[in-house]
Structure 1
Amino acid sequence: MTLAARLDDAWLVVPLFNEATVIEGVVRRARHTFPHVVCVDDASTDDSAARAEAAGAVVVRHPFNLGQGAALQTGMRYVLEATDAAYLVTFDADGQHRVEDAASMVERARAEDLAVVFGSRFLDDRTRPGLLKKLVLKAAVFVTNQQTGMRLTDAHNGLRVLRRDAASALDLRQNRMAHATEIVLQLGRTGLPWAEHPVHVLYTDYSKAKGQSLINSVNILVDTLLK
């Protein structure tokens, strides 16, 4: 059985906002392994949605910019209501997540009967975020663990695998970066089995040129503290 056939029951959920430069390639690469991809266009001002559709993704559009948390909730709701998917994978649009990591996480969830697999860039030394970014992210993880009672090493990694029952338990209300803490809190309350899995996050020239790396980390920390 091919890898794609084994992962036909898993949908990628991709929040999308102004990633026209890279999204077509991200979706095309992903669909070699994950045939089913839904991108939630959060009112992009470029042609991100058209490029995602050209690559074969289902595109759901927000008429107004609502934030990444809202985009994830919309994408999960679409998959749960419109498909019989067994697993949902939250996956970033900017090319920082690796498809092979997502596939390994789905395989682990299946093999170990896990409801949730959190990707962690801090379980090995492959990811090189830079010292300042690492310190900010570690601070956010500490705060999240204090708020949720969970013991994660990387609470704000956007790469996650959710079994259908876990995804059904989520009702995200935090639309900005604090949604990551909300996800951990709500999943922790379910009592469903979970694990962390080592992943390699790619800090690309593209993401660095957009100035996302450190700014997003600071935003995560601020939103986590204010939650």
Structure 2
Amino acid sequence: MSLLQFIILISAVVFVLFWLDLYKRKKMNVLHFFVFFVGGAMIVAFALNQELLNQFWRFFGIARGADLLVYVSLILLFYFYIDILNKHTKDKFQLTRLISQGAINAWYSQNKDQITHRHTTDERDDFVFNIRVYNEEKAVGAVIDEIVDAGFRKLVLVNDGSSDNTLQVLQDKKKQYPDMLMIILDHTINRGGGAANQTGYNFIKKYGDELKIKWFVGFDSDGQMNVKDMETFMKHIHADQKLWSDAEHKKPDLYLWSRFLKGSKVDNMPELRKMILWIAKLVTRIFYGANISDPHNGYRVISLPTLRKFVITADGMHYANEVNEQIKRNHMRYIEIPVHIRYTEYSLKKWQKNSNSLKLAAEMIYKKLFFK
């Protein structure tokens, strides 16, 4: 026996022992059994007789068995990488769920009287703003001021583990506006934009009736969005409610902003960002079948019954793809609204970098094709 055969034989024994350990811990499925047990047995046989290896692979039209071993090894490596990635992703989901639920329970257990003793006095009280916040001490205060000045009085603010003075700014704003229903949900650690939205969505889905609201409003904390566009949203809602007053099943379920419709106004959008968003529109159409002109929109007005159909699991910005997919899958009726977006040097640096689009595309392909 050559030294190489000895090394291969020892590797095969380790392979089989590893399989036995997995079997005892009940961490195996049928595919694992086949790969580890049958694969280990074949390695032992081939280690003892190299000609047997060559004869076996010549059956598949390959002259040298070692060549196909390389191909098979690459395939198995890819499979186990995806398997490990799936487990890691599920662990991340579980951690986010725990942090999200903890933030919701902590607030409600101490502040539920703020909801139950509140009365709806104005049409704008039918709307609740959901705002995810991460390290926005410089911008979020002005955003809250604009919303208050526009007459809206219900906000859910999700502080996603900010490391700057954001939480203090939110608390100061709550004191500044004592008549506002300002719900501050605090993540103990940063989990990402999708995770923060997950917390806001889940809180409003669960307590929407107690909040006495009819509509959810997705809004950003970096100053890009213009709360004055809510007038346009509300005009469409009024018109549609009147038009379909006798046909409930035809009323729109949600209203989506768009930067690319006639009548929209976009200040200082870089050309590269326009190209990336155009590609995102095309990819969304191909992968999810949703014909949405601005698929990575954050300004959404969603009816409470429709909001309760959404399930967000992504920690990062892939959550927008989850929303688009569920709009298509659940046959939700939507209308796109032209809006006014203000790109500033601060907002462009703060949120998604153009380079993050590649990461987002990779995550989309992984979630669509390989995650289970």
Larger Rg: 2
CA-CA distance at 1:105 after TM superposition: 1.6
| 1:132-153 deviations in Å (ceiling 9; x for gaps) | 1110111111111212211111
How far, CA to CA, are the matches of 2:230 and 2:355 in structure 1? 25
Q: Size of the alignment, in residue pairs?
A: 224
User: What's 2:170 paired with?
Assistant: 52
CA contact (8 A) 1:169 1:187 kept: no
How far, CA to CA, are the matches of 1:78 and 1:87 in structure 2? 14
How far, CA to CA, are the matches of 2:325 and 2:342 in structure 1? 26
Q: 1:80 aligns with which of 205, 209, 217?
A: 205
How far, CA to CA, are the matches of 2:239 and 2:359 in structure 1? 35
Distance change >3 Å, CA 209–CA 140, structure 1 → 2: closer
How far, CA to CA, are the matches of 1:5 and 1:45 in structure 2? 36
Distance change >3 Å, CA 207–CA 8, structure 1 → 2: same
CA-CA distance at 1:224 after TM superposition: 3.6
Greater helix share, structure number: 2
**Matched residue SS, 2:163:** coil
Matched, 1:97 2:199: no
Distance change >3 Å, CA 84–CA 142, structure 1 → 2: same
Distance change >3 Å, CA 73–CA 211, structure 1 → 2: closer
User: What is the TM-score when the length of structure 2 is the normalising length?
Assistant: 0.56
Q: 2:354 aligns with which of 191, 214, 218?
A: 214
How far, CA to CA, are the matches of 2:171 and 2:359 in structure 1? 30
Task: Please show how residues 1-227 of structure 1 align to structure 2 within 5 Å.
Answer: 5-33=122-150, 34-56=152-174, 57-82=182-207, 83-112=211-240, 113-124=251-262, 126-127=265-266, 128-210=268-350, 212=352, 214-215=354-355, 217=357, 220-227=360-367
Structure 2 unaligned runs (5+)? 1-120, 175-181, 241-250, 368-372
How far, CA to CA, are the matches of 1:199 and 1:226 in structure 2? 32
User: What is the TM-score when the length of structure 1 is the normalising length?
Assistant: 0.90
Q: What is the percentage of aligned positions where both structures have the same residue? A: 29
| 1:103-148 deviations in Å (ceiling 9; x for gaps) | 4224423431321111000113621422111101111111112122
CA contact (8 A) 2:290 2:327 kept: no
CA RMSD of aligned residues (A): 2.1
Instruction: State the structure with bigger RCO (CA 8 A, min sep 6), 1 or 2.
Output: 1
The residue type equivalent to 1:76 in the other structure is Y
CA-CA distance at 1:213 after TM superposition: 5.3
The residue type equivalent to 2:228 in the other structure is E
- Mean Cα displacement is larger for which, 10-19 or 52-61? 52-61
